[in-house]
Structure 1
Amino acid sequence: MTAQPPPEDPEVPNPWQELDDLYAVRPPWEIGRPQPAFLDLARSGVIRGRVLDVGCGTGEHALMCAGLGLDVTGIDLAATALRTAEDKAQRRGVAVRFLHHDARRLTDLGERFDTVLDSGLFHLLAPDDHPAFSGGLHEILRPGGRYFMLCFSDREPESGRRGPHRLSRHDITEAFEGALRIDAVEPATIDITLDEVGIRAWRVAMTRT
């Protein structure tokens, strides 16, 4: 079931409208299947227990985990994407809970998880939001829980347009210092619909100690 946003006041700008607008047409990161970097994780068996997919979009990674028989929750602020995710889950006959929720307020969920997946959320956050996000992860992950992130790398050339932050290894280390232990920062690719080459990325594995 999707948590509903507060009723709209016509005099107040809708803070989620910009996110919904991204899904007015199919965005380039919605490839209709899991990202290969995360599919490899699923096949390796490291995604376990209760799973939270932050910035789940239309739900491909949450659905992938549900297909493994895991208890999965997906959160996003784009209501349009969440409706699409719920439709996919119904068509595929799998159970996933999708919630309209801000990933910068993870502790408000009041729950604990064993695995958190993040395909393309963290690199959208402003640096000022990093402490709230990393601190929230520390609180909601059980000891020994894992956080797997796929994000734009600083090896990807700037496009000249507004877009995700290109993150260096130092950026990642600095953002999560004191919250999670970084186990690996590996070169990876984010597949997109615009070309076959994809985006140069990092796949990062962290543990809540």
Structure 2
Amino acid sequence: MPTTPRPDPRPPTSHERHAGQPWNASYLDGPAPWDIGAPQPAVVRLAEVGGFSGPVLDVGCGTGDNALFIAARGLPVFGVDVAETALAIARQAADDRNVDVNFAMADALHLQRLYRRFQTILDCGLFHAFDEVERIEYVASLASVADDGATLYVLCFSDIGTGTGPHPVSREALTTPFADSPAWQITTIAPEHLRTRFHDSTPAWLATVVRK
């Protein structure tokens, strides 16, 4: 049975205002649309070529599929989300699989409150949920927990192609908040795909960004 969420002191994000409900509500009546019960194929490919080094932060981790996959490869992983129900599912999955992962509630726009630093940061499906103003705040928040030279991966819906997902992002919209920040340098932005419960291949971008 879903857990009862604690009152959330955060102001609602643009996505929550538009949806008329908090992120936690997405997990109360079964799997969320983005909850595929497995790591994203793009994350698997990154791991297979050594793209992650610890400690790793999975921001907006949801039910933890990506975090659990990375941790099972022997890396220390910390997953954060604002949806308490998703975190409860993630913790139970970690226990069931005997995988050591830390999951905690945290606001992605204020990651400095974690008082932690990470060598790799994964954003799988969160960036595109923020509006233009929130993305500026988010990019600064990510910088506050990134070690010098840390790698950030941003996997988000793209506006290129057919069958685009909700909140599709243009290449310019993805580039701008990082290009305008003194903390980050974009290495690559490449076409990718995201899996959802309804589509195996939704157009996406995969950005690789390095902390200066």
User: Taking structure 1 as the reference length, what is the TM-score of the superposition?
Assistant: 0.88
| Residue 91 (str. 1) matches residue 96 (str. 2) | yes
Q: How does 1:59-208 map to 2 (within 5 A)?
A: 59-157=64-162, 164-177=166-179, 178=181, 179-196=183-200, 198-208=201-211
- Name the CA distance, whole Å, in 2 between partners of 1:138 and 1:116: 10
Q: Are the aligned partners of 2:56 and 2:119 in contact in 1 as well (CA < 8 Å)? A: yes
Aligned-partner residue type, residue 186 of structure 1:
A
Match of 2:62 in 1: 57
Identity of aligned residues (%): 39
Distance, in Å, in 2 between the alignment partners of 1:60 and 1:158 is: 24
- Structure 1 residue 195, shift from structure 2 partner: 3.1
Q: CA RMSD in A?
A: 2.3
Kept in 2: contact 1:75–1:98 (CA 8 A)? yes
Do 1:156 and 1:166's aligned partners in 2 also have CA atoms closer than 8 Å?
no
Q: Quote how far apart the aligned CAs of 1:165 are.
A: 2.2
Deviations, residues 121-174 of structure 1 (Å, cap 9, x unaligned):
110012111121111222211111000011000115577xxx742111111111
What do the CA deviations read for 1:38-67 (whole angstroms, capped 9, x no partner)? 110011102002000000000011111111
Alignment partner of 2:144: what SS?
helix
Change (3 A) 1:35 1:13: closer
Aligned partners of 1:154 and 1:168 also within 8 Å: yes
**Per-residue deviation at 1:13?**
11
- Residue identity opposite 2:175 in structure 1: T
Aligned partners of 2:163 and 2:202 also within 8 Å: no
The one-letter code of the counterpart of 2:47 is A
Q: Please give the TM-score of this superposition, normalised by the length of structure 2.
A: 0.86
- What secondary structure, in the 3-state scheme, does the structure 1 residue paired with 2:74 have? coil
Residue pair 1:8, 1:14 contacting (<8 A) in 2 also: no
